Amino acid sequence: MKRNAKVSTAVIRRLPRYYRHLSELQEAGVVRISSSALGKSMGLTASQIRQDLFCFGGFGQQGYGYKVDSLKEEIGEILGISRGHTLVVLGTGNLGRAIIQNFRFSSNGFQLLAAFDINPGVVGTRIAGVPVYHADELESFIAAHRVDVGLLTVPIAAAQRMGDQLVQAGVKGIWNFTNYEISCARKDVVVESVHFSDSLLALSYMISQRELPDQQEENQ
């Protein structure tokens, strides 16, 4: 597959959305879709869609649109879904437990290997079939298994320390739910953070704008 070397962060951020939309279209039995129809369902223009996908070698056929299944497969390939990435969860509080029980790791190409905690009430148990080990065993576990990503849902006070432990143990990425901006000295380790508050504040901004009657025109 030919890909343009320079892909912007904005395009990368949209790729998972394409994948999600194409999965929904596939489930709904759609075989082929035009860039304008795909754009409409995603809130993008047809031209943005064509530009985005062109970054990755362009999959569309002039006048025919895109084949849903092969486009989904190719984007999944780019996203690394078939690479068999593995993951462990650090912290089995409410949020950790919610993610372990409900998140579809396998649909996203990830295998959840284990969870770690320090709470004696949960260490040694299983959550939705996933074994929970003591955090002290993290390093030896990662040494013995290939672990690509560590998901952090520990309390803020432990976030940086556990992040450092993950990096030292050799993970390639940290999926950070701690609402703390983890710093990572290693350039080859990716930190991807999910900040709920950033999302709520963006929503707060948008509804606040709509409440300003004199600015409605210019801010829409």
Pull the structure tokens for residue 122.
């949960």
Only one of the segments 19-27, 31-39, 111-119, 129-137 lies at the binding site for its own copies (rule: CB under 8 A); that segment is 19-27
| Shorter beta-carbon distance to its own copies: residue 103 or 141 | 103
Query: Quick check: 149 binds its own copies (CB under 8 A)?
Result: yes
User: Token pair 């803020």 is at which residue?
Assistant: 156
| Shorter beta-carbon distance to its own copies: residue 19 or 66 | 19
β 85-90/149-152 pair status: parallel
Complete edge-to-edge strand list for the sheet that includes strand 85-90: 126-127, 130-134, 110-117, 85-90, 149-152, 173-176, 190-193
Q: How far apart are CA 220 and CA 208, in angstroms?
A: 12
Query: Quick check: 194 binds its own copies (CB under 8 A)?
Result: yes
Is residue 151 within 8 Å of 170, Cβ to Cβ?
no
Least distance to its own copies, CB of residue 15, Å:
6
Pull the structure tokens for residue 45.
């223009």
Binding positions for its own copies, 150-179, rule CB under 8 A? 172-173, 175
Which are the contacts of 128, defined by CB distance < 8 A and separation ≥ 6? Answer: 100, 101
Q: How far apart are CA 145 and CA 134, in angstroms?
A: 16
| Contacting residue, 1, 10, 144, 185, with its own copies by CB under 8 A | 10
| Contacting residue, 61, 106, 140, 219, with its own copies by CB under 8 A | 219
β 66-67/32-33 pair status: antiparallel
Query: Quick check: 28 binds its own copies (CB under 8 A)?
Result: no
Least distance to its own copies, CB of residue 63, Å:
27
Cβ neighbours, 10 Å, residue 35: 20
| Shorter beta-carbon distance to its own copies: residue 101 or 140 | 101
Binding positions for its own copies, 90-119, rule CB under 8 A? 93-95, 97-99, 101-104, 107-110
Q: Which residues bind its own copies (CB under 8 A)?
A: 5-7, 10, 12-13, 15-17, 19-21, 24, 78-81, 83, 85, 93-95, 97-99, 101-104, 107-110, 148-149, 172-173, 175, 181, 188, 190, 192, 194-208, 210-211, 215, 218-219
